[in-house]
Chains A and B, each alone.
Chain A
Amino acid sequence: MNATEPSLLRRLVGFNLATGIVLAVVGYILGRWLGDQIHGASLDYMSESGEDDVSLALGYFVGLIGFLVGLGFANYPASRLIGRPPSLPRPDAQGIGRYFRLTPDHKVVGMQYFTGIGVFFFVAGLTAMLIRTELLQPGQNIWPPDKYLTLVGTHGTLMMGMMTSSVLGTFGNFIAPLMIGARRSAFPRLESLSFWLLMAAGVILLTNLAFGGFQTGWTGYAPLSEEGVSGIDGYLFFFATVGLSMTLLGFNLVVTIVTMRAPELRWGRLPIFVWGIFTTSATMVLAAPVLTVAMLLVLLDRTAQTTFFYPAAGGSAYLFQNLFWFFGHPEVYLLMLPGAGILLQLLPVFSRKPLWGYRLAVAGMLGISLVSFMVWQHHLFVSGLAADLRPFYILSTELISIPTGFIFICALATIWRGRLRLEVPMLFCLAWIFNFMVGGITGIYNSDAPSDTTAHGSFFVMAHFHYTIMGGLVFTFFAAIYYWLPKMTGLTLNKTLGKVHFWLMFIAFNSTFFPLLIVGFLGMPRRIVTYPERWEFLNAWSSVSSFVLGFSMLVFLANLVYSMFIARIPAPANPWHSTSAEWQTSSPPPLHNFDNDPTIGDPHDYGRAPEPHTPGLQTAAEGG
């Protein structure tokens, strides 16, 4: 052990995850006790649960504060309050310990996001397997209805809450500063705070199972959320915390991209992936606070007995739908836009052609970001929306297909007559084009009030949604993993296992969700534990396919473990022959990112000049 390194005991009792967990438990107990003291006078006319929502909410809140204090997030504010000067946080020593505490290194935060979100992604995937197991046959098979609904809600909520930050948290934090030639992010503590808030939120959500679960689905509509058992509190606290985390994540990335670009990197030369991160982050900073406040208003209804969503006392359940979807529809694009950024960044690399229509693609991203705030009421077409408002929201929703079309055009024109390299990341990108096309076309039926009236609340909507989000985001997320993990870790991913993963995932994904489009079209409602026997074949087919889909994730996990811990084949310096700046430094990059200032050129300039290595393009995944 290095003589200057603190002892094991000192490291364990310092500000780190272990201390955070201990203080979280202490805080939770303290909060519950406080809640028990002040709850006596409150009214329970809405919640018939017999649980003490005030106590539970305070338990979550004080527990969260304890967790953050234990991680060291109170140290800097406390030192500033007594007049110590502003400072950058001290960078951690190298070693595994830096992944378990507050860190100022954007690359470490990126890896933390990758691992943390990965864990919750697998948990949420497991709940999906359990849902499909129940639906293998008609009738109630494994889960009683309330448990089934809790599974559905936990799956949807975890996926939506966590995966929104997947690309931004992992690749936005790790790669975007490298791409713009920055040596750090603008607000490193906020960057780290956003991650730990998200992890705390995930654990809080899972505690709902100990308090009766929640039967509202991921949308948490009132009056179900008002009347539900205390498991709802975990859901509300989860989304409120996730909203805060998203706001901080987007805030840091926007400021970093605006202020910390290399001097010669003008807006017109910004890599398209960074544009994707920028537009997503800007949308996130504005949309996520609405989510946080909406959840706090429901919590106020359940604890302080306000009446926002309680019609008998002057409130309205529709108010929640408006607030939720004002966040919720931009949320869909928060999931889609980073995927589009990855797609358009990677297609030129593997087509060896410049990105076609750079400005059109940027306009598409900006257009989606802007219009996404104007469409939320299409979710209320069957909720008593005033008939006069319907045409506007039909029009605005269909209008958003125009900037989305820009991205499609740019993607297709970029690969047109390109010298395609069907590497693993490229395969995932090509899958995006097919999946998102199906998602987009089926979306038209939901944007139109007459057809939405029949499709609403059915498996058709659910399958459409999975085509856009899983087909659009998760596929490009995997493309980015295969593309950038060699940069992030310095190690090569196995190519054969990568291809097996892709083909299994692509086929099983379509085989899972296409039948659900059909059963939804036939009228099968979602969030129901059973269905008529005539839909058994399609459901059974979908369930078996979903198991294969789940298996494909295990193949990926096996590849990750094999490549990172067993084979450990060093990655080439620039395995894809990319022209963007992140490949001008070592893999993984040093603490200060670049030994020399990177050369900023056209980030999508491929195929114009002779490329010495093009015929036998060296790959980062050739271990197979």
Chain B
Amino acid sequence: MAARIPEPEAPELVARNLAVGARLAAGATTFAFLGPVFAYLYLRSLNTADLWHPAGVDPPLLLGTAIVLLTAASAVVLLLASRRAAASRNRLLFLASLSFLLGIAAVALQVVEYFVLGFGPTDGGYASVFVAWSGLTAVFALGTMLWLETLIAFMLRGGERDPSQAIGPRFAALAFYWAYLAGLGIVMWVCLYVTA
């Protein structure tokens, strides 16, 4: 008997896979960030050799705040976009592109921040946690923006007109994950910039 190729997945199944996958990915991401969070709490409470946070090791608050605001704004815009996915193609494309630009700007600012930090990874526990935590966030943010770029590029080719492609659920899953990541970014900002 000739091998029968599996039929394409139904849009409802794609939607469920994406919704469950996005939530599970959020859980896995949370646990990935447990490493730097635990290091933050542990090293801060130990303050080994009084080297947790030596004088002069202070991140630029303004830049850090700008990064987290850009990330949050990008996430909010994408949430709005996903809620209007079915309404207007142009509006969806505009909001998604805006979200993408804001997210990429946040990642770019993070890179800029490393060049103007004024301290390096060797400068005690806080400095190490700062580099690892913010770096991990930037990597996850960049990955999420690449995911968003695929959807924008797909729309620019008019692919969303094919109802089997379930563009709405794709945006919904991405928006959920990006909003969750932005929330983790706010936690990072509070820990590394406000209460450090």
Q: Which residues of A contact B (CB under 8 A)?
A: 43, 77, 80-86, 88, 91, 94, 183-184, 186-187, 247, 251, 254-255, 258-260, 285-290, 292-294, 296-297, 300-301, 304-308, 311-316, 318-319, 322-323, 326, 590-592
Contact = CB atoms under 8 A, between A and B. Distances in A.
Contact of A251 (B28, B35, B165): B28
B184 interface: no
B31 A316 contact: no
A298 to B, nearest CB: 11
Given A83-B159, A316-B46, A319-B39, A286 B31 contact: yes
A590 B3 contact: yes
Given A91-B3, A187-B21, A300-B132, 14 more contacts: A86-B165, A247-B28, A286-B28, A288-B28, A289-B34, A297-B39, A305-B120, A306-B122, A307-B128, A313-B51, A314-B47, A319-B38, A590-B1, A590-B3
B136 interface: yes
5 contacts: A304-B121, A307-B124, A313-B122, A590-B1, A592-B5
Given A259-B17, A293-B136, A316-B46, A287 B124 contact: no
Given A251-B24, A255-B17, A314-B48, A319 B34 contact: no
B31 A315 contact: no
B9 A88 contact: yes
Question: Chain B contact residues (Cβ within 8 angstroms of A): what range?
Answer: 35 or more
A443 B129 CA distance: 36
Given A311-B49, A314-B49, A316-B46, A285 B24 contact: yes
Contact of B35 (A259, A294, A591): A294
Contacts of A318: 42
Interface string B29-51: 10111111011001100111101
Nearest to B153: A83
B8 interface: yes
B5 A254 contact: no
Contacts of A305: 120-122
Main secondary structure of the interface of A (DSSP, over half): helix
Given A304-B121, A313-B124, A286 B3 contact: no
A83 B4 contact: no
Given A304-B121, A304-B131, A592-B6, A316 B28 contact: no
B112 interface: no
Contacts of A316: 42-43, 46, 48
B189 interface: no
B43 A319 contact: yes
B128 A308 contact: yes
B42 A319 contact: yes
Given A84-B154, A305-B122, A311 B48 contact: yes
A85 B48 CA distance: 53
